[in-house]
Amino acid sequence: MRIKFVSAQLKQKGTIAVFVSAKGSLLSSATKLNEKTQGALKRATSNEGFSGAAGQALVINSPNGVNASKIVLVGIGEGKKLTISAAQAAGGKLWSLIEKSNDAVLIVDPVQGSALSVAEIAANMAYGVLLKSYRFDKYRTKEKRKDKPTLRTLSVGVRDPAKAKKAFDPLQKISNGVFFTRDLVSEPANILNPENFVTKCRALSKLGLKMQVLTETQMKKLGMGALLGVAQGSANSPRILAMKWNGAPQAREKRPIAFIGKGVTFDSGGISIKPAGGMEDMKWDMGGAGVVAGLMYALAARKAKVNAVGIVGLVENMPSGTAQRPGDVVTSMSGQTIEVINTDAEGRLVLADAMWWCQQKFNPHTMIDLATLTGAIIIALGYHHAGMFSNDDDLSLKLIDSGKSTGELLWRMPLAAEYDKQVKSQIADMKNVGGRDAGSITAAQILQRFIRGDVKWAHLDIAGVTWTNENKPIVPRGGTGFGVRLLDDLVARFYEKG
């Protein structure tokens, strides 16, 4: 689908979409259409009980007086409540009503009471359409044409199309990063192993990202016993991939902000094998790594004025004659030893070495890791918030603010010395699980042991938000890409150097 911005006009043969605000008030373009159709819009809204509330939409087929095949009325609610998120959600709603059209035009009028300019409304509605339009259908060989979207072009009619396009361009680049993440998360594990993950990310070099890959041999030399222990049961060898973006002005901050992703391309649980039911979902246990890759795509594509590094620890956790056993003790790159009580608590082992290497190699001022780490976070927060743990209050507030701004919500969870007692080992520096109680917290406590010196750190447990089985306003069923827009917003508002 192509999105273009044009001067507002009502001459359209396909689909025309216009705004209706609260209490059924037609905005200017809708009012003109109502006149052209001899009051058809007003009659339809009265007969159908359509109030123009946010989230509502109404379709009028084959209206008289215009060339359009149908008119879509988009409810936007009260003007003062038309925020960026609300505009994007309205765009997502619109997609479901125009996807089977060949061509469509959305006429964007100024909305009284909204803090957004008409260009911002147009850009964010188009962004919502784009985000909701995502499909992962590369393996559907028998899908009928009538079941696929047919929309070729969405024309967004607006008073100043150049200004709207300028506002949309960075959003489109961010959407490319979101789609890259969704693609990675959706791939089956027989296609996306650690080596193939690296291959897909190498294509991002064309955006200016610098790549560095660590092989299994190099990781052994570095002493990454924690990560390698997870990988030793698989026929697919592990990788660490670093993606570096240097976009800050030369005279500014040299130390980067770093993003670390857990990349378990399939998690069987290892010797502590998972139940068969639902194990197919463990193809997306690399969701954290997928987010980091999509974020680095977005930052490089929009030429973010920041120095950033994205690191992904890529392994496959499988049971075999060479697999790690419960009771084994591994030595991490930091020198700390870990007793492996449960081989299904593998993500923290991967992150331990990836984070330590990141700090040693790149010396970041801030480090944020993302991982589908624990089922316990789903018990605590369900599927609506990601869990956040941090050693820094200011960083936490920034992350929560960006979460609210993008609709990718975070909830801060506690860290405290009392929880460390649960991961005390009788024979090593720590064990890799702390029992059923406070499982997400004890996992974060383990990660905190691998944070050095003055590094500000946050851990995002995204187990409940990486995949969705329900359609959401701007997220179709499947891989969500949760975290790309959140962290891009964080960088843009708090870390870019002008």
pLDDT in tens, 281-303: 999 999 999 999 999 999 999 99
Instruction: Please tell me what DSSP assigns to residue 41.
Output: H
CATH fold of 2-159: Leucine Aminopeptidase, subunit E; domain 1 (3.40.220)
Helix (H) or strand (E) run with residue 90 in it: helix 84-98
At residue 49, the pLDDT reads: 83
On the question of pLDDT at 11 being above 80, the answer is no
Q: Which of 57-71, 339-353, 380-394 has the lowest mean pLDDT?
A: 57-71
At residue 218, the pLDDT reads: 98
Amino acid (1-letter code) at residue 383:
Y
Q: Residue 418's CB: how many other CB atoms inside 10 A?
A: 11
Residue 274 annotated as catalytic = yes
Same fold, 2-159 and 174-494: no
Q: Residue 7's CB: how many other CB atoms inside 10 A?
A: 10
On the question of pLDDT at 53 being above 90, the answer is yes
> From start to end of 142-217, where are the E strands?
153-158, 210-214
Query: Which of 135, 159, 202, 274 is an active site residue?
Result: 274
Residue 239 annotated as catalytic = no
Would residue 467 be called left, alpha or beta, if left means φ above 0 and alpha means ψ between -120 and 50 degrees?
beta
Query: What's the whole-model pTM score?
Result: 0.97
Whole-number mean pLDDT of the chain? Answer: 96
- Under 8 Å between Cβ of 351 and 263: no
Band of pLDDT at residue 67, cut at 50, 70 and 90? confident
What are 106's strand-pairing partners? Answer: 17, 156
At residue 8, the pLDDT reads: 80
- Of 313, 335, 347, 365, which Cα lies nearest the Cα of 428? 335
Question: What is the token pair recorded at 133?
Answer: 């339009």
pLDDT average, residue stretch 321-342: 98
At residue 251, the pLDDT reads: 55
- Higher-confidence position of 11 and 269: 269
**For a pLDDT cut of 70, what percent of the chain falls above it?**
99
DSSP, collapsed to helix, strand or coil, labels residue 349 as: helix
Would you list the domain boundaries of the chain? 2-159, 174-494
At residue 329, the pLDDT reads: 98
Query: Which of 93, 262, 302, 348 is an active site residue?
Result: 348
At residue 62, the pLDDT reads: 83
- C-alpha 363/C-alpha 348 separation (Å) is 21
Q: Does domain 174-494 have CATH number 3.40.630.10?
A: yes
Band of pLDDT at residue 376, cut at 50, 70 and 90? very high
Band of pLDDT at residue 264, cut at 50, 70 and 90? very high
